[in-house]
Amino acid sequence: MTNSTKNTTGNLITGSPATGNLTGQIQTVVDRYLAVWSLGDPADRAKAVEELWADRGIEYIEGRQYFGRTALVARVAEAYEAFVANAAYTAVGGEDAAVHGGLVTFTIRLDHAQGPDTGETAWSARVFLVLDEDGRVREDYQLTVQPLAA
């Protein structure tokens, strides 16, 4: 079964929940979402957040919420500094992405980037993105599946 929706240019975007194969704008959103967490340059990161999230976009994670681009830029920078800047982890995932209308879901992981556990998953979450009519993230929910070890 393939789900589909149209973006603002009228192009059909499709995805198969059974196979995770996505085309067009949706795969781009998933790829950009995964990449934003690894951008080291603050200007590049802010631009990527602006391009990915809607003006009044919001993210919910671990009982916290980040509303608007200023808060989202700070949130992404905080995550980058805590997990990626020191080369401890890499942000990866998206292989299981699926779409239903304006909802995109996939798994994001922090995998160990060095040491004896290189490549092993240290943390993972199921991401649910609600897209607006322009294909930007209006709502972002990260539900932890595998918490970081204490």
- Per residue in 57-80, pLDDT tens? 999 998 999 999 999 999 999 999
Nearest CA to 77 out of 109, 110, 49 is that of 49
Residue 15 bridge partners (DSSP): 3, 22
Q: What kind of architecture, by CATH, is found in domain 3-86+94-106+126-141? A: Roll (3.10)
Which residue's structure tokens are 């980040």?
Answer: 66
Question: How confident is the model at residue 140, as a pLDDT?
Answer: 98
| Helical (H) or strand (E) element with 107 | strand 103-112
| Cut 0.85: pTM above it | no
pLDDT digits (tens, 9 = 90+) for 24-69: 678 889 999 999 999 999 999 999 999 999 999 999 998 999 999 9
Q: Are strands 103-112 and 121-131 parallel, antiparallel or unpaired?
A: antiparallel
Sketch the domain layout of the chain as residue ranges.
Answer: 3-86+94-106+126-141
